[in-house]
Chain A
């Protein structure tokens, strides 16, 4: 299995929190990209291939929910894993709202380092496996297309051969027919007699 580094996008307006996520997720050995607002987050998404997005729900300007909704509506990011981190939206109703906005997981504050790391790792693994599956699928489709093309060429060749055989057979038949016609014309008078004579012998 290929082990190229996956990109994880961290979105939080507070630099200190971004730094703490960086420290927590540093052990994963993946590439961490940081954004301090929605605009930066969207720009990073447009220019990089992102495996997991970590979003703080509470941000000025465009909040985490709105940002997640925008991301979900984009056809390129419909399957991208989004994890919400939130200090205050902790009621079940709020978690539900998060899921409806496209979150796949929710981490409450105070963040437990081990839990956050484990959750992110699961989604990075899922991303890798999905990518691998996509690649294998493409390879398979390529091979199917190759075989189909080879089969088509073989059928074409067979067809050509059949036409050639048909053509030669017809030619041979025409020659035989004309020989028969000529022979019949030349010996029409006594064509039947010799055989009868031969039969009599």
Chain B
């Protein structure tokens, strides 16, 4: 799976958690890097995307990912610090498959991943 976050500390902590559970984790710190990795990694099973990023934000990145028909069905779980109403709709509209609020609750994250990975 691919973790996208502009703060490497977040990716590091999350990948520590996920790799301990046997997952293989790739990291991207910009939207552009995420898109390149998705294009070059066809075996990717899931993307965990931070919404708040400088330059290209999560919404824009997701829209660009969905433009490629090959990635229409790739599960993308969006992460956002904002707990504002309408955020969920905005995420789903931009192409997210699911939505989680930051700070990420471990159990919530794992159950969301389980659901999207075993679909």
Contacts and interface: CB of A to CB of B under 8 A. Distances in A.
B77 interface: no
A66 B8 CA distance: 15
B19 A76 contact: yes
16 contacts: A39-B8, A39-B9, A42-B11, A43-B8, A43-B27, A45-B12, A46-B8, A46-B12, A46-B27, A62-B9, A70-B9, A70-B16, A73-B16, A74-B12, A75-B19, A76-B19
A38 B9 contact: yes
Nearest to A43: B8
A39 B11 contact: no
Q: What DSSP secondary structure best describes chain B's contact surface?
A: helix
Nearest to B21: A75
B19 A42 contact: no
A74 B8 contact: no
Contacts of B9: 38-39, 42, 62, 70
Contacts of A45: 12
Given A38-B9, A70-B12, A74-B12, A43 B19 contact: no
B29 interface: yes
B8 A40 contact: yes
Contacts of A73: 16
B12 to A, nearest CB: 4
Interface in B4-53: 7-9, 11-13, 15-16, 19-20, 27, 29
Given A42-B8, A43-B8, A75-B19, 4 more contacts: A42-B11, A43-B29, A70-B13, A74-B15
B19 A74 contact: yes
A47 interface: yes
* Max chain A C-beta neighbours (<10 A), residue from B11, B12, B16, B20: B12
A168 to B, nearest CB: 50
A73 B20 CA distance: 9
A15 B20 CA distance: 34
Contacts of A70: 9, 12-13, 16
